Structure 1
Amino acid sequence: MTQPVTTLETTLETLAALADDKILAVNHRHGDEHAVNLTKLRAVAKDLKKNQPLAVELWNFEDSAARLLSLLICKPKEFCAADLDRMLREARTPKITDWLLNYVVKKHPQWDELRLLWLDDSNPDIAAAGWSLNTFAITKKLKVLDIDQLLNIIESEMKTAASRLQWSMNECLAQIGIKLPDHRARALDIGERLEVLKDYPTPPNCTSPFAPIWINKMVKRENS
């Protein structure tokens, strides 16, 4: 017996049935717009399997839950770089942006070209994506980076950067300190002097995003 064809309409009906106003209210506080529990969303994606045509349809529908599902069932290499650039600019919310970068862009053969393109963008949210790819490059393809130049930019610009861009630059600073021992002392010094995210509220048993604490804790863990 053949399996029924999955259509955009039936998939949207599934997402609508899973929508929960309480989840939406929580997500709104974080700048997100989806009303579907992400564990349940992943279960839907597992049932659908990879389906690039449906993924494109879901993305173009412009609903946040539909776009998150799209990113789970798409085939990253079937997008061109221009598609991914457009999608980043359409992403709107932190969760969609995060999943787009981690589940799609980082698996695309042109991720480094996109990194350079986005770093030069005047929109701080787009530039933040470029900095996230700088962090990715530290472990994926270190040779494309000039670490001293990155530290110079962080030192001069991170303190006054817009929030999402500041967060991405701070993550890059921390990973430089964690992964690159030759640059660790300077990374720690920059973090101590700039004090970015020093007072960020951190739940118990979680690592502070303040770079010096983050670096020292991870280095200690790796060396233990």
Structure 2
Amino acid sequence: MAELAGLEDPKARAVNEKHGDDHGVNLGKLRALAKRLKTQQELACRLWETDDSAARLLAILICRPKAFGRAELDTMLREARTPKVHDWLVNYAVKKNPHAEELRLAWSADPDPVVAGAGWELTTERVAKNLTGLDLPGLLDTIEADMKDAPDRLQWAMNHCLAQIGIEHTEHRTRAIDIGERLEVLKDYPTPPGCTSPFAPAWINEMVRRQHG
């Protein structure tokens, strides 16, 4: 904890706070520290319990993802108060855990929109990597009905899923673009030059263009 406190950078904190994060540690330095510590599951659990965001990010980097039980990950997700901790937990721990599919199904139906967003993030991963048992037209129906009025984090995750369906699956591309155009979610999102817009129709068309060069 003392070492993490020593890595605190007021400029990094100011940037992070704009995104809803409450830590000031440069992530490159955090990753270097994790590399030095290597995998230490017990230390990871103790760091998580501090409730400090930088410590939790470090915990995720040094944990053994497969060592967590389903209930543990469910509790951790609900305790992850900031976007970065939430995102890293889902991407670096939950996706590599044997309970990921059970959690995906449970979280997608959760009344808490942040938890539901994690379920949709796991669904997006499935859309890209493993379609077994997924109902893509059904997912598009849900996105069409619910995305427009969904709270921010859930809306972002649904939009990512919509784009992924359009990018990966030619037979659903026209419908995915059409849904995006009608709902206009993230249409005016400020996108820096050289970056791809998160507006689904633009995102889909850009990634497809890149694939076909």
Q: With structure 2 as the length reference, what TM-score do the two structures score?
A: 0.99
Moved over 2 A (4+): none
| Alignment-derived partner of residue 72 in structure 1 | 61
Deviation per CA, 1:90-130: give whole Å up to 9, x if none: 00000000000110000011101000010110000100000
Structure 1 Cα separation of the partners of residues 16 and 203 of structure 2:
26
| Alignment-derived partner of residue 130 in structure 2 | 141
Deviation per CA, 1:154-204: give whole Å up to 9, x if none: 001100100110000000000000001111011011011111111110000
Q: Which amino acid aligns with 1:46?
A: K
CA RMSD of aligned residues (A): 0.7
Structure 1 Cα separation of the partners of residues 58 and 146 of structure 2:
35
| Alignment-derived partner of residue 111 in structure 1 | 100
| Alignment-derived partner of residue 37 in structure 1 | 26
The worse-fitting range, judged by mean Cα deviation, of 139-148 and 88-97 is 139-148
Structure 1 Cα separation of the partners of residues 174 and 11 of structure 2:
45
Structure 2 Cα separation of the partners of residues 143 and 68 of structure 1:
32
| Alignment-derived partner of residue 63 in structure 1 | 52
| Alignment-derived partner of residue 214 in structure 1 | 203
> What is the CA distance between 1:24 and its match in structure 2?
1.2
Structure 1 Cα separation of the partners of residues 129 and 210 of structure 2:
21
Unaligned runs of 5+ in 1: 1-11
In the alignment, which of 57, 68, 73 is matched to residue 84 of structure 1? 73
| Alignment-derived partner of residue 167 in structure 2 | 178
Q: Which amino acid aligns with 1:130?
A: G
Structure 2 Cα separation of the partners of residues 25 and 213 of structure 1:
30
In the alignment, which of 158, 162, 181 is matched to residue 192 of structure 1? 181
CA contact (8 A) 2:128 2:164 kept: no
CA contact (8 A) 1:174 1:215 kept: yes
> What is the CA distance between 1:210 and its match in structure 2?
0.5
CA contact (8 A) 1:137 1:144 kept: no
The count of aligned residue pairs is 213
Q: Which amino acid aligns with 1:179?
A: E
Structure 2 Cα separation of the partners of residues 34 and 146 of structure 1:
39
| Alignment-derived partner of residue 204 in structure 1 | 193
Unaligned runs of 5+ in 2: none
Indicate the percent of aligned positions where both proteins have the same amino acid: 62
Q: Which amino acid aligns with 1:133?
A: L
> What is the CA distance between 1:22 and its match in structure 2?
1.9
